[in-house]
Amino acid sequence: MNESNAVAHPHEHAEASNNNGSVLGMAAEGENVSRPIRELVSEVEWETRVNLAAAYRLMVKYGMTDMIYNHITARLPDRTDEFLINAYGLHYSEITASNLHRVNHDGEITMRGNSHYGINYPGFIIHGAVHLARPDVNCVIHTHTRAGIAVSAMSVGVLPLSLFGMRFAKNIGYHDCEGTVVKMDERETLARDLGGHDVMMLRNHGLIACGPTIAQAFNTHYMLETACKIQVDAMCSGTELVMPPDEVVQETARLFQPGVRRAYGVMEWEAMLRLLDREDPAYRE
């Protein structure tokens, strides 16, 4: 796809149709809180901010970004009707604990992070839909990765071609493409199609993973993305593919479910934070 032609990015159409014709919450240049964000928020909010900023940086590390687009959100433990989202205009490599915005379910910024950028409206619709419908979900990740969109366009969906694929083969929602996500009533179909799953494919659009913790949601998204990469590679090979027996798929999927063997993503998360801290701990600021 030629990005330099006149066709805007899918999310740019969305902002054009937004009521005020601009990005929500865009501030005047220089409008910023004067005290450090860390002094203005609770301890648990700060901890959530640090972990969420880490998740953004890890998406860069693992090649799951789309320029300035996409979002990862985290519900606040002490303000369960509000969640943190990235300032729309920053690259994921620029996200820090202090420049995340806190928003409510009406799309209002209730605490502006250290950024003059606003929030992305489709991002608010998609993530808000999941946070509203699923009180058990505290983190939602949405991506436009090449492999994820490729598999989302395959009528067969995720196939159990690898252990990663087996994890999701029977445990995933599918949401048919309704175009660019700009209508609030798509929240209902998004929530319906996700159901009780922790992952969903947005047909011809991308992936969603969610979970009770940022660590778990990241781990789940990493696995789903890996399943998609493997599936695309295997299907492109042109050779006949081997499908494992259904009982093997079922049992493997069961063993991979969060909590069956151990808390999901927790042990990995500590290593992920060490990885970031060795290279650039600025996400913590």
Nearest CA-CA partner of 104 in 127, 88, 122, 87: 127
Residue with smaller CB distance to Zn ion, 152 or 219:
152
Residue with smaller CB distance to Zn ion, 60 or 111:
60
* Cβ–Cβ under 8 Å, residues 266 and 186: no
- Judged by CB under 5 A, the chain residues 18 through 77 that form the site for Zn ion are none
Residue with smaller CB distance to Zn ion, 79 or 127:
127
- Judged by CB under 5 A, the chain residues 191 through 220 that form the site for Zn ion are 206
Closest distance to Zn ion from the beta carbon of 144 (Å)? 6
Phi-psi region of 179 (alpha: psi -120 to 50; beta: other; left: phi over 0): left
Q: How far is CA 34 from the centre of its chain?
A: 30
With CB under 5 A, what is the number of residues at the site for Zn ion?
A: 1
DSSP string, 7-33: PPPHHHHHHHTSTTSS-BTPPPTT---
Nearest CA-CA partner of 276 in 52, 39, 45, 48: 52
Residue with smaller CB distance to Zn ion, 160 or 206:
206
DSSP string, 190-253: HHHHHTT-SEEEETTTEEEEEESSHHHHHHHHHHHHHHHHHHHHHHHT-SPPPPPPHHHHHHHH
* Cβ–Cβ under 8 Å, residues 209 and 141: yes
Residue with smaller CB distance to Zn ion, 206 or 265:
206
Closest distance to Zn ion from the beta carbon of 246 (Å)? 32
Closest distance to Zn ion from the beta carbon of 152 (Å)? 11
Residue 81's H or E segment, with its range, is: strand 79-85
Closest distance to Zn ion from the beta carbon of 42 (Å)? 31
Closest distance to Zn ion from the beta carbon of 62 (Å)? 18
- Collapsing DSSP states into helix, strand and coil, what is residue 261? coil
User: What is the per-residue binding string for Zn ion in 101-140, x denoting contact by CB under 5 A?
Assistant: ----------------------------------------
* Cβ–Cβ under 8 Å, residues 74 and 84: yes
Closest distance to Zn ion from the beta carbon of 59 (Å)? 14
Position with the least CB separation from Zn ion: 206
Residue with smaller CB distance to Zn ion, 51 or 143:
143
Residue with smaller CB distance to Zn ion, 102 or 175:
175
C-alpha separations of 207 from 150, 227, 242, 244 in Å: 10, 12, 25, 24
Closest distance to Zn ion from the beta carbon of 121 (Å)? 12
Footprint of Zn ion on this chain (CB under 5 A)? 206
